[in-house]
Chains A and B, each alone.
Chain A
Amino acid sequence: MAAAGPSVFLLMVNGQVESAQFPEYDDLYCKYCFVYGQDWAPTAGLEEGISQITSKSRDVRQALVWNFPIDVTFKSTNPYGWPQIVLSVYGPDVFGNDVVRGYGAVHLPFSPGRHKRTIPMFVPESTSKLQKFTSWFMGRRPEYTDPKVVAQGEGREVTRVRSQGFVTLLFNVVTKDMRKLGYDTGPSDTQGVPGPSPPPGLPL
């Protein structure tokens, strides 16, 4: 009875990995990749990337800037498994080895518009002090064999991590045919402005 409509919707995301704040580390580079469900497929753009190595600026901001472009388009039949961007940040340790400084992940925003997201970055932590010393000394820190684990919820209950920095990302999102398929994504969330909620620190 209904006219044949689209069965697939598109999500186009461009933007950048803007900058990072890691108070204790310097000379960092980052890698990104996307994790998505079975109903999703990338149709255009790059699925992974490695940025340049950046050093902290000498001024008072101590900024670590990458300004690294992201440009990808996905198609899907189902919002379940919405793509997440997984970031891994690496840097040299005291001995010159490349060690992981943080992993982080966030869902790509789904309302069309401009969004800014600052995500925390964490590293897995050894449990015993001896192992911590050995890994510092040998330059082989605990790391995930596949960074995509960070985008999943299962299996995390056994990991201990330490959060030690933040990365800021900017996204511009455009969707096609989501409304025709009946999905309501809400108002465009410009600049990632949060909804009404009391600011932290005030009594609830």
Chain B
Amino acid sequence: MAEVHVIGQIMGATGFSESSLFCKWGIHTGAAWKLLSGIREGQTQVDTPQVGDMAYWSHPIDLHFATKGLQGWPRLHLQVWSQDSFGRCQLAGYGFCHVPSSPGTHQLDCPTWRPLGSWREQLARAFVGGGPQLLHGDAIYSGADRYRLHTAAGGTVHLELGLLLRHFDRYGVEC
């Protein structure tokens, strides 16, 4: 079986209007993939930047997959939330990106979006906070029911992911 190691960090995020941000992340793979070691999901710390406007998490990712096929290449899905001084959390954006498929270190910029509600909900979000959220997280990384959504752009999440492949050349796969 071929093996894939994903070793890297969720560096941080820029471009969000709120400043105390954290990110919930997870990795989704197809049926042919098996996670041998590592934690498939997690949540970063809450960072309030002092210098500049980029929130830094430096959250380590270390995953070891074994795979029998190329379908269902791992996808990283992210939810960025902001936390205010009272401890309330508000959604800032959803995003996903595929784990790169060529070995080496990659800098990734993942754009995010958040669902817009009706004009009433948008007004309420501006004054009181809150706002619509997805009920099922799989809309973040699947295209299936997206046509129902009306969204606005959030900021960008920056990741540095390194990929180590093993035995792919045995199976004739060029990456």
Contacts and interface: CB of A to CB of B under 8 A. Distances in A.
Contact of A78 (B55, B64, B158, B165): B64
A86 to B, nearest CB: 10
Contact of B39 (A23, A153, A181): A153
A6 interface: no
B45 A79 contact: no
* Dominant secondary structure of chain A at its interface with chain B: loop
B142 interface: no
B58 A119 contact: yes
A197 B37 CA distance: 29
Contacts of B38: 80
B34 interface: no
Nearest to A103: B58
Nearest to B20: A160
Interface string A13-34: 0000000000110000000000
Interface residues of B, number: 55
Interface of B: 5, 7-9, 11-12, 14, 20, 22, 36-39, 42-51, 54-56, 58-62, 64, 83, 100, 102-109, 111, 156, 158, 162-170, 175
15 contacts: A23-B51, A80-B37, A80-B38, A82-B5, A106-B58, A120-B11, A156-B45, A160-B20, A162-B50, A163-B51, A163-B56, A183-B166, A185-B103, A186-B163, A197-B107
Interface of A: 23-24, 37, 78-82, 84, 104-107, 109-111, 119-120, 122, 125, 150-154, 156-157, 159-166, 181-187, 189, 192, 194-195, 197-198, 200, 204
Given A110-B164, A122-B56, 5 more contacts: A156-B42, A162-B48, A163-B48, A163-B56, A183-B164
